[in-house]
Amino acid sequence: MSKPLSYQPLPNFGVHGLNTQSNPNTLDPSYLTNAENIVLRESGRISFRKGFKQKVVPTGTPIGSMVEHNDSGTNKIFASYGTSIYTVDFTSPNAAFPSSGADVKRTVANSTGDWQFINFNNRLHCLHTGVLPQRYDGAASAGSKWAAHATDPASISTLFDPSCGLGAYGKVWVGGVTEAPDVVFYSVLLDGDDWTGTGSGFIDLKTVWGTDDIVGIAAFYGQLIIFGTNNIAIYDNPHSGGTLALNEVIQGIGLVSRDSIQAIGDDLVFLSSTGLRSLARTTERDKLPLQDLSRQIKDTLIRNIGQSTKVKSVYIQTEGIYIMSFVEKNIQYVFDFKAATPEGTPRITTWTFDSDREPASMIDTELYDGLLVGQKDGSIAGYEGYFDTDLAWVSNAVSFSNHAYAADVSSTWIPMGESMAASILKKLIMVLEGGSGATLGLKWYKDFSINHSAITTISLNPATSGTNALWGASTSLYGASKYTPIFGLEEYRTNLTGSAKHLKLNLNILSNGFSASIQDLSIISLQGKIR
């Protein structure tokens, strides 16, 4: 009597994201061993990340820092590259970075573009190692909106060049001064340019944690948080009129990168030498058991930290994701805080880009309703569509070129039936949403082999289930469709070959301008002989 076919559904395929830390031979199929260029929906479905569409012609020099600043009621984007800070003109993509103009361009000798920008009391304060702080004041007279600060703290005899800071509690707080790397200076109340007047002062961290350098400063639950490379100092009562008091010193945990600090809900996350950490959990404010938010990729992340300390980050509130970019390695880790893994950590995926298109800086904007990235090639791109799109200026006109990118996911080793018997592989059944015209490449690996057994190419051709019209109307806007059609679910069946006790799947989907997501996977096999 012939044996019946075995139907093995994978209902939670990849829902918990990337895990490179655990043994893939025993890891649950709800994790992935590769999760490139994807996001995870709240339901856990694996979907394309959006594309990045350039908005300005590349300069050839990385956009080192960006900020959104409200200038007298108008939101503007300021960006730096080379030795200059610019007010970006997105209406002129070929001339978005003006070559001159006292108010729209600030050139600072010996700067490299790696600024920290601070919005404080209607002014933009700019900090950079090796140069004086700069400030932009939109209310100042024409030609005088940009200026360097006028006075140094009394204790500074050479150059006042803070590399990190914070605008909070009515003052500007700065640290990382070359002459005084373990001192935090704070300004006069409501005046981030005055470091000598009544109400200004300093905090000498040498008396708190010994020898350490200040790397970053943040606000958290009404407290002042000062990050060193190996220590964290927490102060109470930083508000004006209070008595600043040391609350706690956390030793052995510090900050790798100033720009990795982000406020997420009622927490503060930061990159330490041992991974991405939660300040709330580190201080045990809520008695939560886990400190390391990156435990699923711990070794890989630590290796990247050792190879590249230039890290930028952003938290996209509408997407619920924290993005951390290792600029020099073209690897971006995406931490999804919309849902947690069984271990209570955010779900993790990775993004990669064509050479020189990787994010060198990132901000979440109101002006463009989401993510803007300053790219390594000197352009600024928005998070939109499902192509990575380059912009050029050709024959006095804007020219766009679309580039496909691949969503690449690999499963864990999936056990096939009884442990002593090899299963004869028959079919893989996939249910996908969208991806019209895209190409899916399927590889499968058997019994822990590093070599795939075969590769199958599938063209995705989902049925159109309607049009995503404006405001739910069936008509188009001014004779043109406002949004792309809605593509429904489609089942794809492909033959598998060979036999295996354990099976690993790799799916590579090349973008074609439309969203695509994996809804369901199932394996059909036939139990074979005991090996």
Amino acid 486: pLDDT? 64
Q: Are residues 418 and 524 in the same domain?
A: yes
What tens digit of pLDDT does each residue of 29-83 get? 999 999 999 999 887 899 999 999 999 999 999 999 999 999 999 999 999 999 9
Neighbouring-strand partners of residue 370: 365
Q: Are residues 154 and 32 in the same domain?
A: no
Inside any domain, residue 383? no
Report the pLDDT averaged over residues 182-206. 95
Inside any domain, residue 54? no
* End-to-end C-alpha distance for the chain, whole angstroms: 20
Report the pLDDT averaged over residues 129-142. 96
Q: Are residues 304 and 448 in the same domain?
A: no
Is residue 343 within 8 A of residue 368, CB to CB? The reply is no
What tens digit of pLDDT does each residue of 460-495 get? 988 776 544 444 333 333 333 444 566 789 999 999
Inside any domain, residue 79? no
Is residue 314 within 8 A of residue 262, CB to CB? The reply is yes
Which of 271, 291, 308 is the last residue in one of the domains? 308
Please state, in angstroms and rounded to a whole number, the distance separating the CA atoms of residues 418 and 213: 57
Inside any domain, residue 523? yes
CATH of the domain at 203: 2.40.128.630
Calculate the average pLDDT of the chain: 91
CATH of the domain at 446: 2.60.120
Report the pLDDT averaged over residues 140-167. 95
| Band of residue 2 on the pLDDT scale cut at 50, 70, 90 | low
Which of 269, 293, 308 is the last residue in one of the domains? 308
Report the pLDDT averaged over residues 335-359. 94
SS3 254: coil
Which of 268, 291, 308 is the last residue in one of the domains? 308
Q: Are residues 154 and 292 in the same domain?
A: yes
Largest CA distance in the chain: 94
Q: Is the pLDDT of residue 235 over 90?
A: yes
Inside any domain, residue 270? yes
Amino acid 220: pLDDT? 94
Inside any domain, residue 411? yes
Amino acid, res. 214: I
Amino acid 240: pLDDT? 72
- Residue numbers of the domain that contains 268: 149-256+258-308
Amino acid, res. 70: N
Alpha helices (runs of H) in 29-179, residue ranges in sequence order: none
Is residue 374 within 8 A of residue 79, CB to CB? The reply is yes
Q: Is the pLDDT of residue 4 over 90?
A: no
Rg (CA), the chain: 26
Q: Are residues 41 and 154 in the same domain?
A: no
Inside any domain, residue 62? no
Amino acid 320: pLDDT? 95
Q: Is the pLDDT of residue 121 over 60?
A: yes
Q: How many domains does the chain have?
A: 2
Inside any domain, residue 509? yes
